[in-house]
Structures are given as C-alpha cells and as structure tokens.
C-alpha cells in the first residue's frame, strides 16, 4: 500500500468515525433490542496469504452453530429484519472503519476472502492480495448483483459452495486484477464515488 493511499484511508476513516458515531450507536442499540447479543459479527478473513485478521461487521443474521462459507439462498431465512435493511444500505460494514484504521483493509480493494479460498487457490489469491483488501472495489461494484443472483437459488451449503467456487471466484479475481492494473488514488476515489451512487466505474488498459 502506498503512503498516499494509507494517508487517505486514515484521514477519511477518522472523519467518517467522527460523523457516524451516533449512527453506530443507534444501529447497535436497534440490533440489541430487536435481536439481542451479539451486536457485532466478527469473522476471520485474509489480508494476504498467511496473514489472517478479524473483520468486523454489524450482525445481520440469527446465530447458528455452523456459519462457514459465503451467504446463499441456504442462509436467506436467517437474515433478520434489521439485517436486510443494513445489507441493502451497506451500513452493516460501518464497523470496518476500525479495520481500516488498524491497517487490515483499505477503503478500496478486493474483498478480503476466507482462508479456505486462499488455500484452495494460492496462486490466484497470491496475485489478487497484492492489493490491500477493501470495503468496496471494482469486483464489488461490477459483480455483486450477479453474485447475489447466482447464489440466491442455492438451497444447501454444498450447492452454495460449488456455485461460488465455480462461477464467482474466477470472475471476481479477474475484476480484482483489472483494478490492480489501474489502481491509483484517483481511481480509488472514482470507485468510492461509484459505490455511493451505485454505479460501476470500469476502466481497462
């Protein structure tokens, strides 16, 4: 990560934390009153091969003994009423400001993967994770709706896993590598603005 990118991350994260702390408290209270504890969902992700970290989000699903893998149709029934709103607005990811300040992730980059996928495809993720993972990014903007459409019909964890590995991992990695070839502070700003306005800012060399 370049010094300019890190500087932008820290300054923007501090500004957003100062502005959004009442929102954070309000969401936390709403989750606690509606669904009980825990308020946050903390899960291991990878910032680089062999470098795990704990990613923080607001909890959007009811608790379960086994909660591994990506979310597909098999988990749809566990999404809470508040969780649906948080996911739709992406407010569930506000606690990741803490991860940004820690240096685990950036505002823009590939979404941090689960350890299992990094170990499954070490060469692919070795390239993808040369960019610091991010809250948003090119793959998030360009492929998120397609990923949801592919996974929503999956009825079991096994089916979700198979579809994600076969259909989603290669496409997201391709977009992440396009980002890596074009990354700059200006491009990051374009992607951040595109995230706010829900538009795709795709540029190829």
Taking residues 23-49, report their average pLDDT: 96
- Report which of residues 198 and 12 the model is more confident about: 12
Structure tokens at 91: 């407010």
Taking residues 50-61, report their average pLDDT: 96
Model confidence at 204, pLDDT cuts 50, 70, 90, reads very low
The angle at the Cα of 170, spanning 84 to 78, to the nearest 5 degrees, equals 20
Structure tokens at 29: 């209270």
pLDDT digit string, tens, across residues 156-179: 989 999 999 999 999 999 999 999
From the list 163, 164, 51, the residue with the least C-alpha distance to 112 is 51
Strands 51-58 and 40-48, bridge-based pairing: antiparallel
Is the whole model's pTM more than 0.85, yes or no?
Answer: yes
| 50 vs 68: CA distance, rounded Å | 19
Instruction: Go through the chain and tell me how many residues it has.
Output: 205
Query: Strand pairing partners for 108?
Result: 136
Q: Where are the domains of the chain?
A: 3-196
pLDDT digit string, tens, across residues 94-126: 999 999 999 999 999 999 999 999 999 999 999
């Amino acid at each position: 990560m370049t010094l300019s990118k890190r500087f932008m991350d820290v300054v923007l994260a501090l500004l957003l934390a100062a502005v959004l702390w009442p929102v954070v408290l309000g969401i936390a209270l709403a989750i606690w009153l509606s669904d009980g504890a825990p308020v946050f969902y903390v899960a291991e992700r990878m910032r680089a091969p062999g470098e795990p970290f704990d990613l923080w989000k607001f909890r959007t699903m009811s608790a379960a003994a086994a909660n591994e893998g990506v979310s597909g149709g098999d988990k749809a029934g566990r999404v809470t009423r508040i969780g649906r709103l948080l996911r739709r607005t992406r407010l569930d990811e506000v606690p990741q400001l803490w991860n940004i300040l820690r240096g685990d992730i950036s505002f823009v980059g590939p979404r941090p993967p689960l350890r299992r996928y990094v170990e499954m495809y070490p060469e692919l993720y070795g390239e993808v994770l040369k960019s610091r993972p991010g809250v948003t990014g090119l793959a998030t903007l360009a492929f998120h709706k397609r990923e949801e459409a592919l996974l929503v019909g999956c009825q079991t964890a096994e089916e979700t896993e198979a579809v994600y590995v076969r259909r989603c991992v290669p496409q997201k990695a391709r977009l992440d590598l396009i980002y890596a070839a074009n990354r700059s502070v200006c491009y990051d700003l374009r992607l951040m603005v595109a995230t706010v306005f829900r538009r795709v800012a795709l540029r190829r060399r």
